[in-house]
């Protein structure tokens, strides 16, 4: 597998086109792209994973309803930033339908062949006159097959500081298959995705059920293993489109190719998830929290999340303070039966605790490690074989200032 950290993302696989336009969703008249379309002339199988929040935005419900048909085929996605179309009542549902129907009208498709995603402010109705004008322009660009990959990436951003994309290519005896992806997200990224929209495309031919299973497993190992601030959004969506433009059918290929395809989807999701954490709102550090030796994997996840979401722990990371006491305290209130006399803890490869006793002579090394932009905390509970890794970051004064009002 060949992997590419950046680039065009969604248009790397054959047969996909993107566009991004400014339609002034937030009324700031700042010229920022805030609406885009992903389009394939060939019909696509699509898989989707969405927020588990009880409060789901209108476009999330719209997509879930369409994807409930395992035989459904799609040609595109329309997405806007600046307005989540969440908690907007019946009008919000009507506006999601209108967005799909407008794209379909301009591209000569059926409205049920278009998926809809939104991100931004909650509780504010979409400015539909602006949205429909933007859809007209964005649809014209994809019809003309303009190079709008970067414009689309820009159109989905909110508090992000940069665009995020990657792609993976796998070689088979019959040819090449590509998986591309983009994501937006910098806050509210836990516990199951968050104010995050991720889009993936592939030129392989894949059935809806196989694609859904592949995506669900990849999301569970990536987007569902990150946390920025412990909050969950109303609009989380990950969508994977497969148009078959490569001429290769994954399920007809040898098992080795199916495995490689799953690895490519995993790699794209993992890369995008990491980019989200690294671009967290006003963060300065990327931290990997690894838990081993737990009674089972679920217990390991509870401990890892407790540590990764602790405001005291995250604040100490920001201050470059190797405060292992806060880490141990957070691990303890996960209540998985932790025995301090069995606990080993490391900062990177440097021991901090061995069987619950601090290795004080390493204090200077701990400080050096935690002062870096990236480090690993390893907790070995020595209670079993359960393991989990969560990706997180620090909590800065700037984060509070940034989020104190909207």
Which residues form the catalytic set?
195
Pairing of strands 197-202, 175-184: antiparallel
Q: How many of the other CB atoms lie within 10 Å of CB of 161?
A: 12
Least Cα distance to 134 among 62, 57, 26 occurs for: 26
Give the torsion sign (CA, 18, 22, 59, 234). positive
Two structure tokens written together for 317? 């990371």
Beta partners for 171?
176
Q: How many of the other CB atoms lie within 10 Å of CB of 104?
A: 20
Are residues 380 and 300 in contact, defined by beta-carbon separation less than 8 angstroms? no
Three-state secondary structure string covering 94-138:
HHHHHHHHHHHHHHCCCHHHEEEEEEEECCCCCCHHHHHHHHHHH
Give the torsion sign (CA, 394, 398, 400, 406). negative
What is the spatial distance between Cα 153 and Cα 9, in angstroms, rounded to a whole number? 9
Two structure tokens written together for 225? 């293993």
What is the spatial distance between Cα 45 and Cα 209, in angstroms, rounded to a whole number? 9
> 3-state DSSP call for residue 400?
helix
What is the spatial distance between Cα 282 and Cα 287, in angstroms, rounded to a whole number? 14
């Amino acid at each position: 597998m060949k992997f590419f950290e950046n680039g065009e993302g969604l248009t790397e696989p054959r047969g996909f086109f993107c566009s991004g336009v400014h339609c002034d969703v937030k009324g700031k008249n700042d010229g920022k792209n805030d609406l885009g379309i992903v389009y394939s002339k060939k019909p696509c199988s699509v898989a989707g994973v969405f927020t588990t929040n009880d409060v789901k935005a209108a476009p999330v419900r719209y997509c879930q309803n369409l994807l409930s048909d395992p035989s459904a085929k799609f040609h595109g996605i329309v997405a806007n930033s600046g307005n989540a179309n969440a908690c907007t009542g019946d009008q919000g549902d009507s506006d999601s339908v209108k967005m799909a129907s407008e794209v379909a009208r301009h591209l000569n498709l059926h409205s049920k062949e278009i998926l809809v995603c939104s991100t931004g402010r909650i509780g504010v109705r979409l400015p539909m006159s602006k949205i429909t004008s933007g859809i007209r322009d964005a649809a014209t660009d994809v019809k003309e097959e303009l190079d709008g990959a970067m414009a689309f990436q820009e159109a989905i951003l909110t508090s992000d500081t940069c665009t995020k994309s990657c792609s993976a290519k796998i070689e088979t005896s019959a040819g090449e298959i590509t998986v591309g992806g983009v994501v937006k997200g910098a806050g509210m990224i836990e516990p199951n995705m968050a104010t995050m929209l991720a889009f993936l495309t592939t030129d392989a031919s894949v059935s809806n059920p196989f694609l859904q299973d592949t995506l669900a497993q990849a999301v569970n190992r990536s987007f569902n293993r990150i946390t920025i601030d412990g909050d969950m959004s109303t609009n989380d969506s990950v969508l994977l489109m497969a148009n078959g433009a490569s001429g290769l059918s994954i399920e007809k290929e040898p098992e080795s190719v199916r495995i490689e395809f799953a690895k490519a989807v995993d790699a794209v999701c993992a890369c995008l998830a990491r980019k989200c954490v690294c671009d967290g709102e006003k963060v300065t550090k990327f931290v990997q929290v690894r838990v081993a030796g737990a009674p089972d994997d679920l217990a390991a996840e509870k401990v890892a999340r407790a540590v990764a979401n602790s405001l005291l722990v995250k604040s100490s990371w920001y201050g470059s303070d190797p405060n292992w006491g806060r880490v141990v305290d957070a691990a303890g209130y996960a209540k998985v039966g932790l025995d301090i006399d069995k606990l080993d803890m490391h900062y990177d490869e440097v021991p901090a605790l061995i069987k619950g006793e601090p290795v004080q002579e390493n204090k200077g090394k701990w400080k050096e490690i935690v002062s870096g932009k990236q480090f690993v905390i390893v907790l070995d509970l020595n209670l079993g074989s359960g393991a989990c890794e969560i990706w997180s970051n620090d909590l800065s004064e700037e984060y509070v200032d940034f989020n104190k009002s909207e």
